A and B are shown apart, each in its own frame.
Chain A
Amino acid sequence: MIYDTAIIGSGATGAATAYMLSHYSGKTILLEKAHEVCAGVSKANSGIVHGGFHHPSDSLKTRLELRGNELIDRLQHELHFPYLKCGILVVAYSEPELETLRKLYRQGLDNGVKDMEFCDRKRVFELESKLHESAVGGFFVPNGGTIEPYGYVFSLVECALKNGVSLQCDFEVVSGTFADGVWTLKSADGGEIKARYVVNAAGLFADEVSKALGAEEFKIFPRKGEEYLLDRNSAGRPERVVFPVPVKHSKGVLVIPTAGGTTMIGPTAEAVDDKGDTATTSDNFLKILKLTQNMVNGLTARDLITSFAGLRPVHESEDFYIAKSEKSPNLIQAAGIQSPGLTASPAIGEFITSLLKDAGLELVENPGFDGTLPPRYEARKLDDAKLQEFHDNDPAWTNIICRCEEISEAEIIEAVKRGHTTVDGVKFYTRAGMGRCQGGFCSAKVLNIISRESGIPMEELTKRGGKSRILAGKLGELEVK
């Protein structure tokens, strides 16, 4: 079978491109080297829907960020991923900082950001009562907030699959050759996919994929961001995303009310050499805690649930690199998609679709396209009457498995049915194991449900595919010395 388009990488960029292409009737396949979609850059980030004021008007970033911000609103209504549209408050903690923010505010106005509001001290405290006393003013952007980035990507992929896109995980592209108008992509374990057009959305590894396809030579520099997650009961959870004055190469360290109900502080911004380096350090935690305690009241080390690190895929230009390859035919490059890449992603998907069209891909409307997903329910958010109704249809709705996040058995079964058979896959789909006990109480139950629903023996279940097995076998299998 020859696909019309193969997309390499199932992060936000790849998923949004697959979703956009599913509006048309050509055959598209989404390729992912990990065991499940959204396993790299798009999984571990701040989850911010940015407002469009951070970058200058003439950058590709700004154009796509503004359009993406609008599209995420619409997509949320159709796909129902968690989006907390709480607005962004950029806060100055000294008079010189306020001067800097005036410039940033003007940049936002020039960019055409809607409904921005410059705020004096009184007004910033009205908008966010938990701000540190030293706040002097700032500006507010109501059209922004936080999404669960993986939830967003999962729903894009789900909708794309529903509309005819194919998905192949565990497919790491190691080479590609173009002959007679068709690309042949080969995977590390000998698999083969043929497609007329290829989109390189390989995130951190876009440089390596480009090279493997004989296209442009460039380099992606990983820039690490460590994030620290606090309990949903944290007294420091703000009503808005609180930004400081940005610094070079970074929008600064933020205090983030996550769409899932926890509070996140971070990220750091540190150039690293290793694209697999997602380690966190205790020095950075203390540094970030101190910084954010000077921004918002009520943040304490006691509320720390966990930490993680993500890598920003930085292109040498510091801008997005989205263009038709000038070296290899029928190839679209989408590299360097760092912040505000998540916000921009639906617009990037649109843009890539138009680039594919320019390159000759025929776009015929998909007559059966259905851009909506059934709403997703969460036991913790249902009122008594509704939850009882759900229970009467399926008792699993009131069997609580994850106590910290109040996740029902029904939600976990749903995750497995939708293809999440790893512990992390279920965790990111349902939030089971994301709370304060970090799966301490529920992991045995979750393993049992995944095994029962998927038919995979419990000992073979993994954290995130590959060799990341949770268990080493059955009791009695080892010789006792």
Chain B
Amino acid sequence: MVRLDYDVVIAGAGAAGLAAGTVCAQAGCSTLIVDREGRTGGILNQCIHNGFGLRYFKEELTGPEFAYRMSEKARHAGAEFALNSAITDIKQLEDGTFDIRVLSGKDGVTHLHARAVMLAMGCRERNRGAIATPGERPAGVFTAGTAQKLLNCEGKLPGKSAVIVGSGDIGLIMARRLRWSGIEVKAVIEIMPHSAGLTRNVVQCLHDFDIPLYLSTSVIRIDGKERVEKVVAAPLNSDRTPDTSRAFEIECDTVLFSVGLIPEMELARKLGVKENPATGGAEVNSAYSTSVPGVFSAGNVLHVHDLVDFVAEEAEYAGKCIVDYLVGAKTGKEFSSAAGKNLKYAIPNRFAAAKATRFLFRPTVVTDRAVLKAMVDGKSVWEKKLAFVRPAEMIIAEVAADTLHGDVTFELEEL
């Protein structure tokens, strides 16, 4: 059994882990990035389409290109990697440092010792089981990401004619990817009255290929004894129950689910990190510190982002905060922030009033004109006008230092 000491151990070598690891290593902290997979980059490696990096690298990249650049930055900065390595347990010791148990085929059982831990595990896809889609259990049912991996990394066809349930970004990207592989895409079925994915993806992946998108429609059955034979869908009534009198069948041999992402928080639970029910991730302050001192979180394990560029920016900032923590910097007086009207969540959950803070929000409404307000003691103390609001797209707002002097609730008012 090997035992190794690090200033920072980062769980996950996706965009978040790499960005934070780069900053920590640049600052001279001994940094180890651990990942289950054999290569760095996480899910980016299976996202072979372009559209990444416009903000972070100022040029358009594919997922693997983005991953490669991030990895090279981390490597040059001096971060170390433990790949093909699964963290199975993590404990905080009495002195506030951490013991991390890692399994790998190469070294067997390893215990790492770290002064700070960064949670960068990303998220997993919600699947058919988790949303209890009724029907039979044939082969041919995949999450969109699993199908993406089979196609892009294994070079295998998941089926010949598909229906996609849910219009999350991976589902939309996969609609186009399936078509480009010769697989027929019969329909995308979305339970909400609007797409769950980015507008640009609806246009580029569905409209450009004449793939029908059924909104406010629910899949009420999957049929097929051995392999999928068809799905039965029905439009929703005004009370959002399926109107079975208007049910229709679509023949297909494959069903992909793109019905949301869930932060992979299981490791964090072992540390007793306080969770935010609205995001499924941890509660953090403006230094991206969780409720457990020394444990930081950023990227999709904190909240599901729309663009990887934002993941990298957020994690880069969290990396700076980890360095501050390691040199003993104090955060100062904190206030709480909460999501109010028309907002699903606000991040961070606590902020230091004396510093400028970048807040991130997930709206719950579709509107083209709105104003975001920061309410302290029932009064609006800060406002920002917004032109295009969609639940699929995060709202980012920089609030200058010394603007918010109290616990704040953010509200989104439609104009």
Contacts and interface: CB of A to CB of B under 8 A. Distances in A.
Interface of A: 228-229, 233, 276, 278-282, 285, 304-308, 379-380, 384-385, 387-388, 391-392, 395-400, 403-404, 406, 408-409, 423, 436-441, 443-444, 447-448, 458-459, 462-464, 466-481
A443 B143 CA distance: 11
B88 A392 contact: no
B86 A400 contact: yes
A19 B392 CA distance: 57
A459 B156 contact: yes
B12 to A, nearest CB: 12
Given A285-B132, A472-B157, A479 B109 contact: no
B104 interface: yes
Interface residues of B, number: 56
Contacts of B54: none
Given A440-B145, A480-B181, 10 more contacts: A228-B132, A388-B1, A391-B108, A395-B105, A444-B150, A463-B139, A468-B226, A471-B157, A472-B159, A475-B156
Contact of B157 (A436, A447, A463, A477): A477
A306 B298 CA distance: 29
Interface string B137-166: 111101101100111011111111000000
B36 A400 contact: yes
Task: Identify the 10 closest CB pairs spanning chains A and B, nearest first.
Answer: A478-B182, A306-B129, A391-B108, A399-B105, A463-B139, A400-B86, A468-B139, A467-B226, A468-B226, A398-B103
A282 B244 CA distance: 14
26 contacts: A229-B129, A278-B136, A279-B221, A280-B132, A306-B128, A384-B1, A388-B108, A399-B104, A400-B88, A400-B103, A406-B88, A408-B103, A436-B266, A438-B128, A440-B143, A448-B154, A466-B226, A468-B139, A468-B226, A469-B139, A469-B227, A471-B157, A471-B159, A473-B157, A474-B157, A480-B182
A437 B86 contact: no
Nearest to B138: A468
B269 interface: yes
Contacts of B84: 399
Contacts of A479: 182
A447 B154 CA distance: 10
Nearest to A392: B108
B125 interface: yes
Contact of A437 (B105, B107, B125): B125
A391 B109 CA distance: 8
Contacts of A380: 88
A387 B108 contact: yes
B253 interface: yes
Contacts of B254: 472
Choose among B88, B130, B150, B155 the residue with the greatest number of A CB atoms under 10 Å from its CB: B130
A230 B364 CA distance: 28
Contacts of B149: 444
Nearest to B178: A478
Contacts of B225: 276
A440 B105 contact: no
B163 to A, nearest CB: 15
A279 B154 contact: no
Contacts of B129: 229, 304-307, 438
A229 B124 CA distance: 18
Nearest to A382: B109
B130 A304 contact: yes
A21 B111 CA distance: 49
A438 B104 CA distance: 22
Contact of B139 (A307, A385, A462, A478): A462
B134 interface: yes
A317 B133 CA distance: 35
B293 interface: no
B153 A384 contact: no
B156 A278 contact: no
Nearest to B43: A441
A281 B155 CA distance: 35
B291 interface: no
A282 B135 CA distance: 9
A307 B132 contact: yes
B183 interface: yes
Given A384-B109, A473-B156, A441 B124 contact: yes
A95 B153 CA distance: 61
Contacts of A308: 137
B127 interface: yes
Contacts of B139: 423, 462-464, 468-470
A398 B106 CA distance: 8
A30 B23 CA distance: 63
Contacts of B159: 471-472
B124 A474 contact: no
A398 B157 contact: no
Contacts of A441: 124, 146
Given A400-B36, A406-B88, A282 B106 contact: no
A282 B130 CA distance: 12
Given A391-B109, A459-B156, A440 B125 contact: yes
Given A467-B227, A470-B139, A305 B134 contact: no
Contacts of B156: 458-459, 471, 473-475
A436 B125 CA distance: 10
A470 B132 CA distance: 21
A444 B104 contact: no
